[in-house]
Structure formats: structure tokens, C-alpha cells
Structure 1
Amino acid sequence: MSDTQTLIENRPPSVAALFLERVAATPDAEAYRYPVPPAAGAGPDDWKSLSWAQAAERVYAVAAGLIELGVQPEQRVALASSTRVEWILADLGILCAGAATTTVYPQTNADECAFILADSGSKVLIAENAEQLAKVQEKRDELSELTHVVVIDPKDVETGDRVLTLAELETRGAAYLEEHPELIKERVGAITSDQLATLIYTSGTTGRPKGVRLPHDNWSYMAKAIAATGLLSADDVQYLWLPLAHVFGKVLTSGQIEIGHVTAVDGRVDKIIENLPVVQPTYMAAVPRIFEKVYNGVAAKARAGGAAKYKIFQWAAEVAREYAKVTQDNFRRTGSRSVPFGLAVKHRTADALVYAKIREAFGGRLRACISGSAALAPEIGYFFAGAGIHILEGYGLTESSAASFVNPGEAYRTGTVGKPLPGTEVRIADDGEILLRGPGIMQGYHGLPEKTAEVLESDGWFHTGDIGELSPDGYLRITDRKKDLIKTSGGKYIAPAEVEGQFKAVCPYVSNILVHGADRNYCTALIALDEVSLLEWAKENGLEGKPYAEVVAAPATVEMVGKYVGQLNQGLQRWQTIKKFRLLPRDLDVEHGEVTPSLKLKRPVVEREYKHLIDEMYAGTREA
């Protein structure tokens, strides 16, 4: 048996057990960094640290506090908060109490929040602030099983018998631990691998979300499998801003506990650019939308610097892509990253002019980024690779505990999601669907045996709903969601995500694009533009000072986007080309339910909302 197999097969039953091991092994090492905004509200944040021992003191107090409130093993404790260090401490506290965390996005509205709490049977809710508390107070009558609410930020919160602050819970827990000093060790020792650890409700595009049941063993396996990839070490510094209610953010906390590196936690997306030079991470996980935004921002900044500066950027972008493609191809064939002398000279020049500044903006120490949750446009991936920001795409679903595939470090291949994690099996069905089996796969959907049977076979194979292909040496490429594949009235199949990704690499002003064409005789697109980039463009094109909606509607804007659509079409098969498009009056967002909290497009919602624009694009045509 290999060392990797031994590591994975001899895993403990839970991440709670791994956490106790980590605290015992490196009590004084730094575990978490978190920002404390200045009291006056102005100036930079002050970053504080917690060692593993300090984190454990708080985690055990939370666990004991929950036990004192009457929480029993496997009972659900819901967590409705943005990404912050308290989220991680609370989640670990829940796990160390032997209970299970129900994750709730802070953007979830009161109706859906009440449904999740009721469906999960959550006994306690840990809420971030008064806003999250208000959602359950509004629906109190529907939540008979909810006995207490614990509030992290007590501002404007009235505490009482059933509402207490996190600080109060920790105080009560610490006192309870003095009376029962072996409590945590006993609770964690009693956890079995098949015991429920986490309920994550998928943000479905239609109907109510489904609760995905992830037992303790899923996270213990993920922790060991991530460590076994060799991508990370105890010297790494992770910058964690992803929503922890999402499985992608959550899995990163398991890997960190096993490896023991530092994690800087701050979920404020608007602070990413400011935080990167302060945190100076060595690795960071993100969703493709973030890389698209950075790319568009760099392009817009170059354009604002005048024609000469923009020309240099465009040249440097092409050099980066060529360099990345050549080095990756050479590495695959010969194990060497050598490039022709002329390309090496161009790359050095472009590095001095453009790439070095981009790396500096990421903090200057970034070894790699992990990208997941949706497909990254290969041309954007190649650009960053050539600029020295190595984006390792990965793949997984809520139902597979997030990390099923990841690109293998230096041997990464842009446009693929890499190889399976050690211990995960994959096969491609006859219709191209990706099937997975292994210790990361869910137990099933909470209270929905029929829905579980639709995707989970009796022998453990899980139907992902994604279409993909495996290379002879095991790299997976995702082509699309099975249900999203478009079949035109002419019988041609189109993967909309592929066309959409290509457009994002061509047009620096796009935020979201939806390609439509199922059962139609040509393809159309709904396009939403990035407000910041667009308003910069507007300044140079006679539209300065106009509001976003007015700029979007201007003929000059439509003409500008039309040129990029034309550029896209040049690289497509005839049946894939976009014949008509419409610009949306605003960007798509989580609040309107058009994208998920992990920024994935909800196609049915967008198509329903903008049906009038779609109908307009096909008006007067005879559908074959």
C-alpha cells in the first residue's frame, strides 16, 4: 500500500478528531488571521491572529455552550453568516459537540431561510447580526424546533431567554467545561464516520433547495486527500474569502486543519484588492468571475492610459497566452518548460511592463490559485498562467464535498480540471455524463429518498449531471451541464458555457452572458456589462456622467459590443455563432436570484425574466 493510500485509509472518523490532533501537535502555531476594522471607521483594518490553542479554547467553549443548551449528537445547528473567523470557530464548535451544521447563505431571504431551518430540523441558529435574526423572528411560528438563536455581532440585538450573544454562549460553555473537563474529548471520541456533519442546501434553479447530507467521513477524507495532493504545505498562507455556506469554501477549512497552515479570513468581496497586498497569500481559491473581473479591470486600466498603453497590454496579453500554451505543451511532452529564444525575450519584456504589476497586486507571493464552481474561460486562464499567476482549476459538487478533481501543481493544464483526488473514482457514461464514486460522495438528499435514487446508484456511483471527457492520461475536461446543452432546430448540439467563456476572453466589458438557442434555428445572447469597466469606457466615448442604464442603452455601446460579438463569431462553427444579442439594463445578481451565491448563472431564472428580449430576437423568423 502506498503512503498516500495509507494516509487516506487510516483517516480518523471526523474533522473534529483531526482538529484535536492539530491543536495537540502545533498549539502555538498561527492558525487564523482576521481583520478588526478601526474604531473610528476610517483607516486600514488591524489584522489579529489566533494560534491553534487560542482557536481551540473558543471552539471548545462554543461546543460546551451548545451542549449546555441541550444540543444532542447529530442534531442540527444552523449557521447564517458571511465569511468571518467566527463562522469557522462556530462550525468547529458544532462539530466538536457531535452535532451537524446547517449552512445558510446570509443573502437567503426570510421565506427560504425558514424553509431550510424547518426542513433541517435545526435546534439552534447561530446568526451573524440583527439582520439575520430578524428573518427568523418574522417566521417564528413556522420554526417549532428552534429553541435558541446565538448572535455573533450583538449590535441592535435584544438578548433574552432564547436569544444570546456568541460571547455569552462561550462564557456559559467555558463554565460548563470547568465542571465537565473531559466533555469535548468524550463527544469527539463518540463521533462515528457515518454520523451527519453538515447539511448544505443547494441553491436550485427551480423549486425548493435540497439538503445535501455530508457525514463526518466526507470531511475527514477531504482533509487527507487534499494533503495527499502535495499542493500545500504548513508554510502556506491562504486568503479565504469564499462563502463558507458553500461547499467550496467549507472544504478549504478541512484541508487547512490537516496541513496546519495559516488562513486569513475575510468574506468582504469589496476588500479583496485592498487585502491581498496586506495578507500576501501564497495561495487563494476563487470562482472564475473574480479572475474575469481582474482581467477586465487590468484591460480597462490600460485602455484608460491611452492608445499606446492599451496596445502594449494587448501585445503582452497575446505573449502571455502563447508563452503559457508553449510551456504547458512542452512540459506535457518532455517535462521541460523551455521556450524558443524569441518568445522568452518577448516574455521578459512583457513581464517588466505588465505582468510584474499584476503579481504585485495579488500580494507578490502567490504560488497558485484554485478556481472552481464554474468553468474558467481558457483564454483568461492562459493569460494569467503566462503572467505568473498559476490558476489550477478543480471540479466537484456539493454532493461530492466540493473537491473531486484538481490540477496537479506544476503539471497543470489550462482548460481542464485536472485529475481525481486520491481515493476518488471517475467514469464517463455512454451519453458523456461524468460519474463519480468515493469517500467524498454524499449520503443523499435530506428527507428525499426518491431524489437521491435519481442520482445515486446502489453501488455508489453518483451522476453529476455534467458532461465531460477524460484524456488518455486522466485529465478531465468539462464541456457543459447535461441539462444546459442546447440542441438547435437543425439538430446541432451546442455547449453554451463554452461559447460564453470565449466571449468573456474577447470582451473586456462583459460581466455575464447567456447564450440561448434550444429548438431555435440560430443562437442569440443576453449580455450584462460590468458597471465599473463600462463607465470608464463611457468617459472616452461621449457618455461621461450618464447613469449605467443610459450608457447600456446608447447606440454606441450596442455597436461596441457588436464588434466583440463579431470577433467571437470568427472563431466559432457556423451553427454556434451569435446572430443577435440584447444588452440587459442591469447586471445579474444574487439579490434578484439570477446567479447563485457562488456566482453561477441560473439560466431558467434569467430566461424567464428576460423572455420578452429573447422573443424579440426571434420575432419574424420561421422556426424550422
Structure 2
Amino acid sequence: MSDTQNLIENRPPSVAVLFVERVAATPDAEAYRYPVPPASGEGPDDWRSLTWSEAAERVYAVAAGLIELGVRPEERVALAAATSVDWILTDLGVMCAGAATTTVYPSTNAQECAYILADSGSRVLIAEDAVQLAKARERRAELPDLAHVVVIDPAGATPAEGDPDGWVLSLADLETRGRAYLARNPGAVKERLGAIRADQLATLIYTSGTTGRPKGVRLLHDNWSYMAKATVGTGLIRHDDVQYLWLPLAHVFGKVLTSGHIEAGHVTAVDGRVDKIIENLPVVRPTYMAAVPRIFEKVYNGVAAKARAGGGAKYKIFQWAAELARESAKISQDNFRRTGRASLPFALGAKHKVADALVYSKLREAFGGRLRAAISGSAALAPDIGFFFSGAGIHILEGYGLTESSAASFVNPGEAYRTGTVGKPLPGNEVRIADDGEILLRGPGIMSGYHGLPEKTAEVLEADGWFHTGDIGELSVDGYLRITDRKKDLIKTSGGKYIAPAEIEGQFKAVCPFVSNILVHGADRNFCTALIALDEPTILGWAAEHGMAGRSYEDVVASPAVVQLIDGYVQRLNEGLQRWQTVKKFRLLPRDLDIEHGELTPSLKLKRPVVEREYKDLLEEMYAGTKAV
């Protein structure tokens, strides 16, 4: 048995136990860094640290406070807050109390928030601020099980007339009560920890879904314990790393990173403010970080826009360097596959050194200068963007998983990564491809089922443990997986041809530096069309250079010049497609797609039915005069 297999098979029953072991092993080592904005509101943030023992003191106080409030094992405690060190500590406190966390995105509206709280039967809500408290208060009549709301930032979150006695308290109050409870019952948390079973509910994550009501995915303590061991077992996470964590922790992708961190014992810098990423990277100087493809697309578009703004000569240098990066990455990865060395031919290597001095080194410095690898997940990364970063020395390791598989089922293996694939299965995970191309998974990361929905569970989870992902993929001879599309998203044209829209959309994002979101449409139609939303700062920058300074985004995208500009990129896209895949017509949207309008999930996935319904008139306009089947 290998060391990795031994670690996984002899895992403890819970990440809560792993946390206790980590605190005992390295009590004085730095665990977390977090920003504190200046009191004046101006200037850089002050970054502070918590050691493992300091974190534990707060975690156990939260756990004891919940026990004192009457929370019993496996009862749900909802957490509606943005990513922060408080989110992590309270989640660990819930686990150490033997309870289960229900994650809620802070962007969730009051109606859906109430549905999740009611469906999960959550007894306590830990809310970020007065805004989250107001959602629960507005729907309190629908939440008979909700006994308390604990507010992390108490500013403005005072008890109101009509609130039950003691219904609202601050996180500081909860911790104070917890410490007092521990003084009277010093063994209370230890007793709860000792009673945690591997098959006990740890987390309920409601899939935001691209259609229908969200379903609560039941993830057990054993799922997270496995994930902690398996992610570290890949060798990608080390004890001397510094992780930059900004992903939403209500999403399974962000949550799994907290488990691996505890097992590895490295430093995690936590800040969920997306608008601070560019500012934070040179300060944190991470050695690894995870992100969704949209972040890498925005960085790429931003670099291209900056080069274009620098004048024709600078933009030509960037274009040359970008193509060279892609060519170098493809050759380097191919050589590694054949020889085990990521080498370049002499002449190409010499050009690469020049491009590195002019372009790539500056890009790496923008990421902090120490980034060993970036992990990309949640959606497909356009291969050409992946090859660009790879050639520039920023190694993006794509991974794959779902909420139902505790996030991580596949990941690219370090130096042997292959852009355009999601890598190999995590240790202990099994995969097979069904006759229709669907990816099936089995292993310790798979959910126990959907909360209160046995029929829905039976639709995707077989009795022998195989989970139907709904994704279509291909396995290489040596075990690398390539995702081609969602099974339900495959388009069948009226001519009987099957098309994977995500593949075409990804190719367009690599071709067009102005695109933000794109939806390819064509089911039961005789040709494909596209709805395209542009990246506002990038296209407004172009517009200012072309006599349209000061005009609104909506005006700019409606202008003939911009339509012609994007048409050029659509034609470039079509050059690389089969005839039946080509985009014959497109429309530019009057605004970008977003979470607020329900067009994107909180993890920035496209909700196709929503977008198609909202822009039905534009779609029909493109097919006017043609026969639909």
C-alpha cells in the first residue's frame, strides 16, 4: 500500500478531528492572514495573522456557544456570509459542535434564502450583517425552526420590535457565551468531537443550479476528511505554501480548499472581495491559488487592453508574445509527455527569453511573483487562454468535480499537466465513461444524497455507488479526462448534428479579447447563433480610442463599428469550426450577464434557460424567415 493510500484509508472521521490534530502539531505556526481596512477608509489594508492555537480558541468558543444555544448533533446551522476568516472559524465551530453547516450565498434573495433555511430545517443562522439579518426577519413567519440569528458584523443589526427574546445576538456575544459555557463544562466540545461519526451530516450545500429549485446536497464528515487527505495526497499542496483564498465559501470549490489547508498546515490568506484580487496578489504573494475561468479570462483581456492602450508597437509585441507563449506551451507539454522534460528547441527558447523579459515576467509579478500553480475549476477554461498562461510561466491546473462529489474528483498532476484536460482522478476515486459518453464517478467524495429528495437521489446515484455527473467526457489511454459538455446542454440541430456549445464558447473567448459572456444557441434550428456580452472596461477603452469617448456601454455595443469589430472575431472563430458548428448570426447584449439578474450562478456558470428566455426576441429575430423544427 502506498503512503497516499495509507493516509486516505486511515483517515479520521472528520475534518474537525483533523483540525484538533493540526492545532496540537503546530500550535504556534501561522494559520490565517486576513485584511483589516484602515479606519479612515483610505490607504492599504492592514494584514493580520492568527496562529493555529489562536484560531482554535475562537473555534471552540463558537462550538461551545452553539451547544449552549441548544444546537444538537447534525442539526443545521446556516451560514450566510462572504468569504472571510470569520466564515472559516464559524464553520469549524459548527463542525466541532457536531452540527452541520448549511451554506447560503450572501447574494441570495430573501425568498430563496427562506426556502433554503426552511428546507434544511436550520436552527441557527450565522449572518454576515444587518442585510442578511433583514432577509431572515422579513420571512420569519416561514421559519418556525430558526431559533437564533448570530450576526458577524453587528453594526445596525440590533433586535427589532417583534423579534423573539434573544433571537438576535452578535458573533462576539456567541463566543463570550461559549467561553463561559466552557468554563462551567470544560469537556463539552471534546465530548462532541469524540462522538462525531464518519457517516454523520457535515454540510448541506444547495446547488444554485441552472434550472429549477435548488437541491440540498448532503455531504458527510467523511467526505471532507477524504478530500483533505486526497488533495494533499496529490502533492500539489505543501506545508510551506501560502494560499490566497477568495472563492465563495458557500460554494463547494471554496469549501474544499479549507479542508486541504488544515491537512497541509500551511498559511491561507483570506479575503472574499473580488475587486481586491489584483491589489492583494502582490501583497499576499501566494504560491498557489484557485479561481474560476472568468478570472483568468478577465486578466488576459485586461493585459491585452493595456497593451493596446500603449500604442501599436506595444500591442504588436503583446500579440507576438501571446502567440509565442501558446506555441511554447504546446511544445513544452508535448515534450514532457514524451520525455519527462518540459524543454523547448533552441531557437524557440531564445525567442521565449526575449518575450519573458518584455511581457511574461511582468505578468508573473502581477500574480505576486511566487505562484507555483493556479487551480481552475467550476467551468471549462478555454485551452488557448490556458496555453497563454502556461507559456508565460503561470501554470493553470484545471480540475473537475461537482457539489455532489465534494468539489474535487480530478486535477492535473503538477508538472505533467495537460491544458485542455482536467487531469487524473484523485487518489481513491473511480471513473468510467458510459455508452452515451456520460462521466460516472464513484468514491469517498460522493454525496449521500439530496436532502429530503430520495427520488431525485435515485435518478443520479446508483445502488452500487456510481454517480451520474450529467457531463460528457473522454478519457485518454493514460487516464486524463477531457470534458466536452453538459449532457443536457448538447445541441442537436434540425439537420441532426450534435454540437457542444461550451466548446465553441470557450474557443470564442480565446479568440476575442472583448468578450465577457457568450451563449451559443441552435437546438432544433438549422444553424447556430450567439448572444454575446462584452467586457465593459475593455470595450469602453477601445471605444474611447475610436471616437466614442464618454458614450455608455449600451450605446457603444449598438454602434456599427463595434458590431463590425466583433463580427471579425466571429469569422475568425468560424474558420476553425466544422460547417454545422459555425455561428451564422449574433447579437450583442445591451448589458453584461450577471448573478443579480439570475443569468449566472454564484460560481459564474451560465444559466442557459434563463438567458434564452430573457433574450427570446433577439434569438427569434436571428431565425426570422427560417424554418425551425
TM-score (norm: length of structure 2) = 0.99
- After TM superposition, give the deviation of residue 207 of structure 1 in Å: 1.9
Secondary structure at 2:338 match in 1 = helix
Q: Please give the residue correspondences for 1:368-517 in structure 2 after superposition, counting only pairs within 5 Å.
A: 368-517=373-522
Q: Please give the residue correspondences for 1:532-611 in structure 2 after superposition, counting only pairs within 5 Å.
A: 532-611=537-616
Deviations 1:186-235 (A, max 9, x none): 11110000000000000122221000000000000000001110111110
Partner of 1:68: 68
Deviations 1:326-351 (A, max 9, x none): 00000001111121111001100000
Partner of 2:162: none
1:84 matched to 2:89: no
Partner of 1:116: 116
Deviations 1:515-534 (A, max 9, x none): 00011110000000000101
- Report the residue type matching 2:63 in the other structure: A
Deviations 1:485-541 (A, max 9, x none): 011111111100000000000100000000000111100000000001011001111
1:128 matched to 2:128: yes
Distance in 2, matches of 1:138 and 1:444, equals: 31
- Report the residue type matching 1:388 in the other structure: G
Distance in 2, matches of 1:207 and 1:440, equals: 25
- After TM superposition, give the deviation of residue 622 of structure 1 in Å: 2.5
1:166 matched to 2:178: no
Distance in 2, matches of 1:259 and 1:93, equals: 20
Secondary structure at 1:298 match in 2 = helix
**Unpaired stretches in structure 1, ≥5 consecutive residues:** none
Distance in 1, matches of 2:626 and 2:13, equals: 61
- After TM superposition, give the deviation of residue 581 of structure 1 in Å: 0.1
Distance in 1, matches of 2:628 and 2:154, equals: 59
1:273 matched to 2:317: no
Q: 1:327 aligns with which of 325, 329, 332?
A: 332
Secondary structure at 1:498 match in 2 = helix
- Report the residue type matching 1:122 in the other structure: S
Partner of 1:31: 31
Secondary structure at 2:102 match in 1 = strand
TM-score (norm: length of structure 1) = 1.00
Distance in 2, matches of 1:622 and 1:144, equals: 53
Distance in 2, matches of 1:409 and 1:335, equals: 12
Detail structure 1 runs of 4+ shifted over 4 Å in the superposition.
none
Distance in 2, matches of 1:260 and 1:608, equals: 47
Q: Please give the residue correspondences for 1:195-206 in structure 2 after superposition, counting only pairs within 5 Å.
A: 195-206=200-211
1:519 matched to 2:524: yes
Deviations 1:406-464 (A, max 9, x none): 00000000000000000000000000000000000000000000000000000000000
- After TM superposition, give the deviation of residue 591 of structure 1 in Å: 0.3
Secondary structure at 2:470 match in 1 = strand
> Is the 2:525–2:627 Cα contact (8 Å) retained in structure 1?
no
Distance in 2, matches of 1:169 and 1:196, equals: 23
Partner of 1:50: 50
1:301 matched to 2:306: yes
Compare 164-173 and 151-160 and name the one that shifted more: 151-160
1:345 matched to 2:345: no
1:102 matched to 2:102: yes
Partner of 2:262: 257
- Report the residue type matching 1:425 in the other structure: E
Distance in 1, matches of 2:532 and 2:219, equals: 37
Distance in 1, matches of 2:2 and 2:310, equals: 55
Distance in 2, matches of 1:419 and 1:207, equals: 32
- Report the residue type matching 2:600 in the other structure: V
Q: 2:222 aligns with which of 217, 226, 237?
A: 217
Q: 2:251 aligns with which of 227, 242, 246?
A: 246
Deviations 1:209-267 (A, max 9, x none): 00000000000000000111011111000000000000000000000000000000000
Distance in 2, matches of 1:511 and 1:211, equals: 30
Secondary structure at 2:484 match in 1 = strand
Q: 1:226 aligns with which of 227, 231, 235?
A: 231
Distance in 2, matches of 1:335 and 1:258, equals: 29
Distance in 2, matches of 1:333 and 1:491, equals: 39
Q: Please give the residue correspondences for 1:11-22 in structure 2 after superposition, counting only pairs within 5 Å.
A: 11-22=11-22
Distance in 1, matches of 2:93 and 2:229, equals: 21
Distance in 2, matches of 1:6 and 1:186, equals: 27
Partner of 1:615: 620
- Report the residue type matching 1:461 in the other structure: W
- After TM superposition, give the deviation of residue 623 of structure 1 in Å: 3.4
